[in-house]
């Protein structure tokens, strides 16, 4: 029998339990662990024992020799873990994890005791078992590397040669975040443990990390366990964007770090190297010119700048600028409504649509090589219109009009577009080919109804 705690085994066992129970996010769901190990132990409250045996809570505490909880062997290799339901939820989580530690580490079997208590064994042995079970508990609920990763994302690192962890730098996540935080409070919230347990976790973080590296403990299988906790706007509960000083939904400036089932976030949408939304949040198209301002398939604007500083580019769902809090170009606009609506109807998986063009053209001149309306293939290099049906051979936009200083309207200059563009990338206006029903509206291609607008009810009078 050894009296010095072995901290290697509890860490290994904790990682195995996390993997076997299929834990994918912190805070750890103890119900998932209970389901996985239902043949080994069950978890019951003191109140259920009180009812079953007709005991008072005080008698229960006496019987189990603990204010918080105890693992009791019921028959060979089967256990009941009791917890005092009068304690706080966070404290109880740690108690249950600690008792699971006694069970998994085989403490009761090894020492042939029905319950771990001071009275049944020597002080040294009792302390060894307690330290091992607690090591298991903290690495189950809050594994060292995951804690370190959370702190690192917040720019928190260890003060040299001390077990103190402090904010040392700004990170992509904390940039412009005008809120105070520290290692202990972040860990408490992210892993749903008491402040006392979080304090111990921080204090023993380097010790546990050293244990991992000294024994080459493999944490690979738990690497992808993610965090549910995030920074949310305290007013509207939108998840804050990294680097944002203002909430994109309400313009608020206060954020709280927490796990919150009622919180929400905007859909994850990308921007390309030219800072255009990509794919298009309405139709899923990804092919744009570098200087396109509008999606050529559905006509949606490809950026949502703030109305104060056009250099501040926002998420397409944003109503307020993340950088200055002023309203965005989309706030209250048709674009915003369309984006909201289409994001609600789209599923994550079937996004990013490839619009296959069947129209043959010469990429040097953008001129079609076969007329898409009458199938005429005899097209002269210098011709501007199809000699059979008169269709322009380059798909131009039908520009809107502009008003001069005297109130007179003028036609704008049309822009050249690819033959399969429904809308002009420069001005957002429909193209000639779209207007002539040579191209289907994007909603029809995607097989969705676009509410209130069939997308193609243009003036049939084309001037040619
Ligand atoms: Zn114990
Ligand atoms: Zn907000
Ligand atoms: Zn689009
Ligand atoms: Zn701004
Ligand atoms: Zn033709
Ligand atoms: Zn145009």
Under a CB-based contact definition with an 8 Å cutoff, are residues 26 and 227 in contact? yes
Under a CB-based contact definition with an 8 Å cutoff, are residues 241 and 292 in contact? no
Q: What pLDDT does 351 receive?
A: 58
DSSP for 106-167?
Answer: THHHHTT-SS--GGGS-HHHHHHHHHHHHHHHHHHHS-HHHHHHHHHHTTEEE-TTSS-EEE
User: Max Cα separation, the chain?
Assistant: 103
Residues, CB within 5 angstroms of ligand 6 (ion): 397, 415, 424, 426-427
The 10s digit of each residue's pLDDT in 193-247 is 999 999 999 999 999 999 999 998 888 889 999 999 999 999 999 999 999 999 9
Which ligand has its closest atom nearest to the C-alpha of 390? 5
Q: What pLDDT does 400 receive?
A: 77
Residue 306 Cα to ligand 3 midpoint, Å, equals 20
Spans of all domains in the chain:
8-141, 144-197+227-265, 270-355, 356-464
Correct CATH for 8-141 of 2.60.120.380, 1.10.10.2910, 2.70.98.40, 3.40.50.1980: 1.10.10.2910
The residue among 256, 249, 290 whose CA lies nearest residue 272 is 290
Residue 124 Cα to ligand 1 midpoint, Å, equals 13
The residue among 101, 98, 91, 100 whose CA lies nearest residue 198 is 91
Three-class secondary structure of residue 308 per DSSP: coil
Position 74 pLDDT exceeds 50: yes
Q: What pLDDT does 202 receive?
A: 96
The 10s digit of each residue's pLDDT in 10-30 is 999 999 999 999 999 999 999
Position 422 pLDDT exceeds 80: yes
The residue among 190, 420, 448 whose CA lies nearest residue 297 is 420
Better pLDDT: 408 or 170: 170
Q: What pLDDT does 270 receive?
A: 85
Q: pLDDT class for 109, splitting at 50, 70, 90? A: confident
Rounded CA separation 229/260 (Å): 7
- How many Cα atoms occupy the beta-carbon half-sphere of 3 within 13 Å? 5
Cross-strand pairs, 48: none
Kindly report the backbone phi and psi dihedral angles of residue 221, in degrees, each rounded to the nearest multiple of 5, phi listed first.
-70, -15
Residue 321 Cα to ligand 4 midpoint, Å, equals 5
Residue 317 Cα to ligand 6 midpoint, Å, equals 25
Under a CB-based contact definition with an 8 Å cutoff, are residues 86 and 46 in contact? yes
The whole-number average pLDDT for the span 273-285 is 90
Q: Counting every residue, how long is the chain?
A: 464
Residue 320 Cα to ligand 4 midpoint, Å, equals 8
- How many Cα atoms occupy the beta-carbon half-sphere of 255 within 13 Å? 29
Which ligand has its closest atom nearest to the C-alpha of 376? 5
The whole-number average pLDDT for the span 133-139 is 97
> Cis omega (within 30 of 0) on the bond before 339?
no
Residue 33 Cα to ligand 1 midpoint, Å, equals 18
Residue 214 Cα to ligand 1 midpoint, Å, equals 26
Q: What pLDDT does 348 receive?
A: 55
N-term to C-term CA, the chain: 98
Position 56 pLDDT exceeds 70: yes
Q: What pLDDT does 460 receive?
A: 44
Q: pLDDT class for 47, splitting at 50, 70, 90? A: very high
Residue 385 Cα to ligand 5 midpoint, Å, equals 8
DSSP for 358-405?
Answer: ---EETTTTEESS-TTT------TT-SB-TTT--BSBEEB---EEE-T
Residue 283 Cα to ligand 5 midpoint, Å, equals 29
Which ligand has its closest atom nearest to the C-alpha of 306? 4
Residues, CB within 5 angstroms of ligand 1 (ion): 116, 130, 133
Q: What pLDDT does 1 receive?
A: 62
Residue 116 Cα to ligand 6 midpoint, Å, equals 79
Q: What pLDDT does 462 receive?
A: 41
The whole-number average pLDDT for the span 121-137 is 93
The whole-number average pLDDT for the span 265-269 is 86
Residue 81 Cα to ligand 1 midpoint, Å, equals 11
User: 325 is written with which tokens?
Assistant: 């809090």
Q: What pLDDT does 349 receive?
A: 53
Residue 383 Cα to ligand 6 midpoint, Å, equals 21
Rounded CA separation 340/389 (Å): 41
How big is the chain by its Cα radius of gyration, in Å? 32
Position 82 pLDDT exceeds 60: yes
The whole-number average pLDDT for the span 113-142 is 90
Position 449 pLDDT exceeds 70: no
Question: What letter would DSSP give residue 261?
Answer: T
In sequence order, the 6+-apart residues with CB closer than 8 A to the CB of 62 are: none
Q: What pLDDT does 131 receive?
A: 95
The whole-number average pLDDT for the span 396-420 is 85
Residues, CB within 5 angstroms of ligand 3 (ion): 280, 282-283, 285, 295, 297-298, 300
The 10s digit of each residue's pLDDT in 170-189 is 999 999 999 999 999 999 99
The whole-number average pLDDT for the span 141-150 is 97
Q: What pLDDT does 142 receive?
A: 98
Q: What pLDDT does 446 receive?
A: 74
Rounded CA separation 433/361 (Å): 14
On average, the pLDDT of the chain sits at 90
Position 118 pLDDT exceeds 90: no
Residue 245 Cα to ligand 4 midpoint, Å, equals 10
Q: What pLDDT does 458 receive?
A: 46
Position 274 pLDDT exceeds 80: yes
Better pLDDT: 440 or 34: 34
């Amino acid at each position: 029998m050894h009296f010095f705690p072995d901290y290697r085994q509890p860490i290994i066992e904790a990682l195995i339990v996390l993997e076997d129970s299929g834990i994918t996010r912190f805070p750890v769901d103890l119900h998932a662990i209970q389901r996985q190990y239902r043949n080994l132990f069950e978890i019951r409250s003191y109140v259920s024992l009180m009812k079953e045996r007709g005991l008072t809570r005080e008698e229960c505490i006496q019987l189990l020799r603990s204010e918080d909880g105890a693992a009791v062997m019921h028959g060979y290799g089967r256990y009941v873990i009791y917890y005092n339901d009068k304690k706080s939820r966070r404290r109880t989580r740690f108690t249950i994890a600690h008792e699971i530690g006694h069970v998994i580490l085989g403490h009761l079997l090894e020492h042939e005791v029905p319950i771990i208590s001071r009275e049944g064994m020597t002080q040294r042995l009792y302390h060894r078992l307690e330290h091992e079970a607690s090591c298991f508990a903290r690495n189950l609920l809050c594994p060292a590397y995951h804690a370190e990763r959370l702190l690192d994302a917040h720019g928190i690192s260890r003060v040299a040669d001390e077990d103190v962890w402090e904010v040392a730098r700004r990170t992509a996540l904390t940039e412009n975040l005008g809120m105070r935080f520290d290692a202990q409070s972040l860990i408490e919230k992210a892993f749903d443990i008491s402040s006392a347990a979080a304090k111990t976790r921080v204090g023993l973080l380097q010790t546990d990390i050293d244990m991992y590296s000294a024994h080459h403990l493999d944490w690979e299988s738990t690497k992808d366990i993610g965090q549910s906790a995030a920074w949310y706007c305290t007013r509207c509960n939108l998840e804050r964007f990294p680097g944002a000083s203002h909430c994109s939904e309400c313009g608020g400036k206060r954020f709280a770090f927490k796990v919150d089932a009622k919180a929400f976030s905007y859909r994850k949408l990308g921007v390309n190297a030219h800072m255009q939304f990509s794919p298009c949040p309405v139709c899923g198209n990804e092919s744009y010119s570098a200087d396109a301002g509008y999606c050529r398939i559905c006509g949606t604007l490809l950026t949502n700048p703030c109305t104060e500083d056009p250099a501040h580019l926002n998420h397409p769902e944003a109503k307020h600028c993340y950088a200055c809090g002023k309203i965005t170009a989309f706030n209250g606009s048709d674009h915003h409504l369309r984006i909201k609506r289409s994001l609600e109807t789209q599923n994550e998986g079937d996004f990013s649509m490839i619009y296959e063009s069947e129209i043959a053209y010469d990429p040097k001149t953008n001129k079609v090589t076969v007329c898409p309306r009458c199938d005429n293939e005899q097209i002269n290099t210098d011709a501007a219109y199809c000699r059979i049906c008169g269709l322009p051979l380059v798909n131009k936009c039908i520009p809107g009009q502009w008003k001069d200083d005297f109130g007179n309207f003028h036609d704008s200059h049309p822009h050249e577009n690819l033959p399969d563009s429904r809308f002009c990338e420069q001005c957002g206006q429909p193209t000639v080919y779209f207007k002539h029903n040579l191209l289907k509206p994007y909603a029809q291609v995607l097989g969705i109804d676009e509410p209130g607008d069939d997308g193609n009810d243009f003036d049939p009078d084309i001037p040619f």
